[in-house]
Structure 1
Amino acid sequence: MRGLREIFVSVDVETAGPIPGEYSLLSIGACPVFDPDNGFSCEFKPINDNFDPKALEVARLSMRELYNRGSDPEVAMKAFSDWLATLARPGDTLVFVGFNAPFDWSFVNYYFHRFAGKNPFGFTALDIKALYMGATGCSWRNTRSSIISEHLKPTLSGTHDALSDARYQAEIFRLIWSLILPRAEE
C-alpha cells in the first residue's frame, strides 16, 4: 500500500542484569533513526532487588536512587508507548533497531507485555550487528562496536547513557544504510 512507512527506532536499555524478569530494566533511550533529535528517555523503579554489580557499574546507575526517582514501570511503558504513537500514522510499522537487539528487545518486549499489555514493535527487532555483517561480509567477531566504529567513523560514541547510546546507534545504522543503498539501486 502506498504511503505506509517503516519507522526505524533506535532503542537502547540499561539493566540490572542479563535477563528480564529476574533483573530490572533501569532505563530506556530511543530515537527515530532518521530524526535522532526527537528522543525519548526514562528511568525505572526496579521491580526487585536483584542486580549484577558489573551491570550497575557499566550503567552507572544506583538501585537505591532509582527506587526513589525512577518511574513506575506501568507509567514508564505507557509514556514510551505514547511517544512511539507520535512517530507513526495508522498502518505504519515501527521497527525496533538495536545494537545487539536481542538483548535490548528482550527487556523492552517483556516490560511492554507485563506492564502495558502489548508491544507496539510487534515480535521482531532489527539487529545492527547482523545488518553490518550482511552489509560488509565480515565475521561475527568483527561486529563489535569498536571495530564497526573504526570502520565507519561515526561522530558520536557509546556512553552507557540510554538516550545518548540510542543516538549513537542511530548514527551507526545510518552509516551502514549508506553502504547498502548504492547496492539496492543497482
Structure 2
Amino acid sequence: MAAIPNATPAAASLDEVIHHLNTLSRRGLLRSAGALLAGAGVGALGTTAARAALPPGVKHLTEAEAAVFARVAEVTLPVVGTRLRPWAPEEILTTLDAALLAGMAPHLLAGLKGGVAYFNDGPRGRFGKPFTALEDGPARLFLDAWGASAEPPQRGLAMGLKKLVQLSYWANPASWAPLGYDGPMTPRVQLTRLGNAPLPRA
C-alpha cells in the first residue's frame, strides 16, 4: 500500500501502523505508564472540554492531532454520570504521548500522524465537517461506521485510535478502583516475570 495521505515520504504505510497498534497491550502499557503517572502525580481529575490546549510536556503531538484524540476520548469514554472515574484531556494526552507515542519508531509515528489526519477528514464527505467539529451523535455514527467498514484502513484506524485512547485511560491506577480491581498481581506477590515461557510438558 502506498504511503498514507499527508504522511512524509519516510512514513510507514497504514497497514504497518495498524499492525503495530494491534500489538499494543494493556499489560505492556501499564509497565510503561506506571513510573510516568507516579512521577507526574496524576490523580483524580474533573472532566473538562476536550478541545483544551496542548498540555505542557507533550512532545509527539500537534494541537490538531491532540484535538482528534481528545474528541475520540469524548465519544468513547462517556464516564459522566457513571461510577467510572472522570478523566481530563491533559491526563489522556500526557499518558498517550509519553507511554505510547514516545516509544514508537519514527516511521511508525509519522505514519500514525498521517492516519490521524486522514481519519479527521473522513466525515467531510457525509457530514461536511472534520471529525473534531462533529457533534456527539454524528461523531459516534462516523466512528461506528468506520469501525464496521469493509475497508481495512478505515476499520483499522477507527479501532486503533479508540484503543490508544482507552489504553491511556485505563493505564492510570486511579481508574481501577470503581471496578474493584487492585492492580496486577505479579508485583504484589513478588513473582518473577518469565515472559512468554513455554508451557510445561507432561
TM-score (norm 1): 0.30
Greater helix content: 2
TM-score scaled by length of structure 2? 0.29
Whose radius of gyration is greater, 1 or 2? 2
